[in-house]
Structure 1
Amino acid sequence: MSYPPDVQSIHGALPPGTRLNANYEIDAFLKAGGMGDVYRGHEIETGDTVAIKLIRDQLAGDEAVLAMFRNEALALRRIHHEAIVRYFGFTLEPQLRRHYLAMEFVEGQPLSDILDRGPLPAPQVLALMRRIAAGLQAAHEQNVVHRDVSPDNIIVPETGIARSRIIDFGIARSLRVGDSTVIGSGFAGKYKYVSPEQLGLFGGDVRAASDIYSLGLVLAACLLGKPLPMDGTQVEVIERRRSLPDLSAIDPMMRPIIAAMLQPDPEARPRSMAELAVWAPDAQERGSTVFAPRGARSPVPTPASEPPPRPAESAKGEKPRRVGVLVGLLIGLVALAAAGFGGWRYLHHDAPATTTGVQTATTTDVAAANAEPPLLDPPQKPVETRPDPFVRLREYARDFDGGDCFLAVVGEISAGEAQIEGYGRGREPFDALDKSFKDATGVPAAISVRKVMAPQCPALGFAKKFMDVREPLRFDVARTQLQRSGDKLEGAIETRAENVRFLIVDDDGLVNDLSARLGQEPGRRDFAMELRATRPGPVLLVAIAGATPISLAGAARAATAKDVFAKLAEELADASPPPAVALKYVLLVSGR
């Protein structure tokens, strides 16, 4: 990007003294986030210190990211409470042509940094609960659900934990009629702190009770000095939310209220944050609770008094479901990935990869997903491969006419929706797919769009041509975002094919063949390599597996995607059986 003469970029960050709209002046760079950079600044007229969240340069034209920024601004504008950062303005800086959000600057530490030093005493955790619950109640009264309540998003000032503040409403969901968000009702947040509803359980209806559950996990982490073991593989994350976690190590003073907050059934949790804000630890000793569950059925049990309800039995109005089916349906949960622009200059790999500890779905998980059809009319007789309804959904997405640079890949079904990963130059064709998908298949779509650069488009056409909708190639990466150049790119290609190619396509369309760096474990090809670039941007990973040798004949090292994939398509056109191809997208948030 070319800056105006008085605005020079230093390592991608704006220098001190940069002025925004003649209203604010930047004092210091604080941190880089996935969507925007955060600065400390001041208001020019008054000198008041402010926090400024500036949309990242390479995302400035991305409508999805811009919508997320607007969403945070709208959420903050509606909420007025001393536990929530105040909002000052959201606007476009005309010289930089980048939007920014100005808000109150909170001096303090993230709660996550404090917990790195050990657990907190129960009285402090009680004070924290009352403070944060009161703030979130103000948000809920404005029909805004935070959906990412975690230690990273709670700032503790020097004045004490009882004055903590809630930040980052970037993925908040509005419940107002007619309002919408980028993420909608789907998954958002951190796996360690998400509620069962955010993973599709109990109808996937994410409301105020979801924040109550997440806050319960935060409070448990404060008392233990570490999070409860609620993360893991996608299957483990879901299974651990089907029952009340083991709270035997939690301080007895706080155990009853945390047990109430962590009920799997949202109807069995406290009715509102307001009740948590006034909860007294001696309520159990008096033989009553300060609150009643949402359904007002009975006092909420503690782990010692009653086993946790089974989800199929406790969900209000919910019919029993087949556990194996639901586990399979939810394997493919996807969060909105930040779409980005920029230029990759070189992709550096280290020593040959060996089998890594990357947590990816196993073949057992895949078998669970194939066990029965999801939320569609089941076939009349058992089948050994993925049932026909899945094939029909995949075929429709693959064959949808979205233009020359378009690819839509159906993952799994969660919360009754087909999760679709979209790759393309813009959102318009995916809006068209979203409108037609349910009419054509009977299943609504939840589409996350990954924007690619024009030189990368030939990779999409190649993947579309060889995509196997009946037996998709299993290809997983540990992380879809890397924070900085030099971070490890890890993952695995699961295949019994003898011939496997692993290609990386940067945003200039240059292709590097790193197949030699794949591990050789039977049925699984792991990779682990450093990803280096001079500036942030997106990269495509292409996995090709088949019975026929894939020579890449005539493709020079670091050749362009246009040449490489044209030659590959010609070389593999008559292969029998045809190869399987899978695509992944990774975004480097900041360059070196």
Structure 2
Amino acid sequence: MSGKDNSKGNQSVPPVSDDDDDDKTRIVSRPPVEPADEDAERTQFEAHPSANTPDPKNAPSQDEADQPSADLTPLDPPVGAPPVRPQSTALGIGTTINNNYRIEQVLKSGGMGAVYRGVEIGTGDPVAIKAILPELAEDEKAGLMFKREARTLRQLAHEAIVRYYNYVHDRDLDQYFLVMEFIEGIPLSDHIKEFGALPVPAVMTLLKRLSSGLSKAHAQGVTHRDLSPDNVMLPGGDVSQARLIDFGIAKSTVVTEGTTHGQFAGKYKYVAPEQLGGGEVSSPADIYGLALLTAAAAIGTPLDMGSSIVVAVQSRLSIPDLSAVPMALRPILSHMLEPDETRRPASMDLVGQMVDHPELIPAAYREGMAFYPSEATTGQFTAPPHGLQIPTTAMTQRSVYPSTITPQTMGPATLPEQEPESRGGNKALGLLVGSFVVISAAVGFGAWQMGMFGEAPPPLASGIDLGTQTAGMPARRADTRAGFLAEFDAGRCTLLTRVPAGRNAGMVEVFSQTGEELAGLPVAYEEKFGARPAILPRQITADQCAALEFTHALQGRGREAPRIEMTKDEMVSGQAMTVRIGDIGRQSVWAALITPSGAIFNLTERLSDPVGGQRSLNFGLTLAKGSEAVPQLVLIVASDSPLARTATAGDGIPAAELLALVLEEISGRKGAASASLGYVKLLPPEG
């Protein structure tokens, strides 16, 4: 069967024009000063004018930039090259290649070549076929780059990287073809355009998936260099199956011919600083590029990183402004976006680990700024040390290494020194910080002056009795485990709950001031349900009793409580905690932290978007050196509709006061809510 165009009578799919091609490659002898805005999304190739990073001060003026350049030598298309196919650069539908593959659809066509959907004739399996124009194949640079892509892909076998099948030359067509896996799906860029930003859990999944694939590539000496949403395919629109494509400008330490040494290659909006000049481009460049790709997926649009060489360089002198990025993503992205490549994560493998274990992220990034640990005080939040400046909400992200990187403008506000107050029996507690949960940032740093540093809240014995505010609620169902535990007589300020999931699944938590195990409980439980549970004591402070009474008031009344899983029972100051929340369906969720002093802080804004009836929460805590360990409680309340009392409450107020009002509101709704309580012990810094 001839390899020539056999598409007589067939109607070809109109190829995508160059104007719509975001992947169009440009090769010029020196950098274009001011490309059109739409070109900022396209892959650019530019020879560096020097070995050093361009100095913005020496950039051409706008008037100079508007003048035509005499030494620009565009290679796309080659000057004087006669058009082989006047009407289209694409081959017709039905064309066979090497008697092995048949073209069925033109997916993309441009000045460099085309991409087709085809089939392997012998098996009928779908394939993607990438072609380079014959005249470009004769160009040494373009031809070697195309061959390099084939050889590079041949090295890589990973579920997150498009699979390589074959590299062939059809003598009849006099064209080279790269045959790859055909991915039935949508580019990430198109998915974002159609559906908007990805929810945080999906972004985390994407980041972990792509970092895994790139880790494989880096282990083989391959740097992608062109990471962007249009080079990520989502099979069936599924982020968890994302695949990297287009290794056309990848750099390999193994396959060296055709490498664009000494040239800029990539897209202005997604490249690393070292790709713009002066630096060795290797795996850290992909770490930076993956962070920009991830940020674009999280906010639905690329970060403003410049559309010219000068602005692009300036935009990378410090960590970009990540204020539009969801808080949970800022720590890892800040770390990955360090201008100095030696301060980024050491490897893609470590990036993937940081997704699952945020505590691996250096502490400075987990706050999005330097930590502001509290001084050792007793029973209350305290002001930072005298003279310490707390950034206002107007601040922009900056490098945590200002001695080497110029920070962007900040608006500091110095807090007055406050005298510590003491309450008997209470220990020093951690200052809630961090980009996982910066309580002060959640309320515009006003929380630093809205009760955080005031008098410690009154104890539960102040006259508020949460246990009596259950009128109108359904009766408890003693035949259920939750109802049985709620009815078990354990005394005041005690809560018994069964752990539904995680490493402690099946155990019964006993929250109390004494930390006792309640010796009679396992036997009574076994008599009722036929299994004797292990007891997990949780000792709390007197001022946290309000949280126990509130949760107990809603327990066992026929509504399934949120399933709450704390990733650890203890956390060292400066570490991060992840809370996984399930069994919430489409309910509204309120999350709060109850400190040892009984102050309550809203964590709801830090919740991830719901995915399959599940959400997650990340936060960090610090505690002064030399302090004693203290308990922290996380309260999760699920209700049919948002609770007005929780939405209007300020941070730092006594939990006893707020929870009494919230319980009253729930009672007025006939008990249409449920609650769960999580526990973690905060330990002082090691050493």
TM-score under structure 2 normalisation? 0.42
TM-score under structure 1 normalisation? 0.48
